[in-house]
Amino acid sequence: MDKLTKERAEWIYKKMNDIRNFEDEVHQIFSTGSIPGFVHLYAGEEAIATGVCAHLTDNDYITSTHRGHGHCIAKGCDLDKMMAEIYGKETGLCKGKGGSMHIADIDKGMLGANGMVGGGFPIAIGAALRNKYLKTDDVAVCFFGDGAANEGTFHESINMASIWKLPVVFVNENNSFGEATPQKYASGSEHIADRASAYGIPGETVDGKDLTAVYEAAGKAIDRARKGEGPSIIECITYRNYGHFEGDEQKYKAKEGGEKKLADRDCLKEFRKYAISKKILSAKKADSIEADSVEDIEHAIKFAEESPIPKPESLYEDVFVD
């Protein structure tokens, strides 16, 4: 596994800031009515997407979830085109025809956010099957929420990945709630990673607010997958800053106790402090990354707002390959 070098720490901190700023801005803009549809924000979970994707190249694949902006940014998708997509503009990553829930960029190995909870599992093992069949050392990472862990696709896909020793890592973002229902209520096992033993693969539960914990666990599992030793499950305990979707009153969230403590943690601040203490990030550099990120997101918003809406004839385009 590659060490957390200065260069890597700076990359991670920039991506974490991009995700946070992107989502905070989308939250604001959504409330004004400029963004249509359903939006599910990733803010609060930045350590996971960045800690995992830091180990990936453009040749590696990821599948994402309905809460997919963070994965997109961490996998290297263009911020301007992402924002334009969420606005439903012609210049969007998907020409405005996918939106927040289907944002994707196959050229970057990003196989799509997914409006179907649990929809990513079989697609990820298919990409991993391709990697294995073509004898590459590329991997696939399947991000999934705690809610998705209770879909049938979880079982079928992880079992198949195990029997075929596919190069895939299943990264669970356990943010404590599947929509408005607590994970503790919906899952028979305390930890989703505990289920790994049933499939004969490694499973590990880590602190999803701690970048270094995610980074290390992901590095180990991805190395293992690259070496052809098979899949793993990593469960990252985290919490989302916003609701399930924008407009969610979040009546189910606790106002005190352990859950509140988890909610109040800020993975960006924690990583900044850690990286500075380990001298892999200077305070000056951290400040400039934060300023750059704000500027980049402002640029993305301007780009999206100034972009044209899709042409009417595009309604009929791209249903089939001609």
Partner 1 sequence: MARRITFMKAINEGLDMAMEKDERVILLGEDIAGGAGVEHLEKENEDAWGGVFGVTKGLMPKYGRERVIDTPISEMGYMGASVGAAATGLRPVPELMFNDFIGFCLDTILAQGSKMRYMFGGKAKIPMTIRTCHGAGASAAAQHSGSYYGILASIPGIKVVVPSNPYDAKGLLIAAIEDDNVVVFSEDKTLYGIKDEVPEDYYKVEIGKAKIKREGTDLTIVTIGKMLYVALEVADRLSKDGIEVEVIDLITVAPWDQETVITSVKKTGRLIVIDEANPHNNTATDIASVVGDQAFDYLDGPIKKVCAPNTPVPFATNLEQLYLPNADRVLETAAELIDDLKK
Q: Which residues bind partner 1 (CB under 8 A)?
A: 61, 63, 92-98, 102, 104-107, 111-112, 114-116, 119, 121-131, 133-134, 140, 152-153, 156-157, 159-160, 163, 317-321
Give me the least distance between CB of 317 and partner 1, in Å please. 7
Distance CA 174, CA 245 (A): 16
Give me the least distance between CB of 46 and partner 1, in Å please. 24
SS3 category, 90: coil
Considering beta carbons, is residue 14 or 67 the nearer one to partner 1? 67
Nearest to 64 by CA among 148, 182, 132: 148
Q: Confirm if 131 and 167 have CB atoms less than 8 A apart.
A: yes
Give me the least distance between CB of 15 and partner 1, in Å please. 22
In this structure, are strands 203-207 and 61-63 parallel, antiparallel, or unpaired?
unpaired
Element (H, E) at 35: none
Tokens 């799509």 found at: 112
Give me the least distance between CB of 90 and partner 1, in Å please. 9
Considering beta carbons, is residue 24 or 156 the nearer one to partner 1? 156
Considering beta carbons, is residue 53 or 289 the nearer one to partner 1? 53
Helices (H), 40-137: 46-53, 69-74, 79-87, 120-133
Contacts of 173 (CB under 8 A, 6+ apart): 45, 48, 65, 67, 143, 144, 145, 146, 208, 236, 238
Considering beta carbons, is residue 112 or 208 the nearer one to partner 1? 112
Give me the least distance between CB of 105 and partner 1, in Å please. 7
Considering beta carbons, is residue 94 or 267 the nearer one to partner 1? 94
Considering beta carbons, is residue 128 or 300 the nearer one to partner 1? 128
Distance CA 112, CA 5 (A): 29
Give me the least distance between CB of 156 and partner 1, in Å please. 3
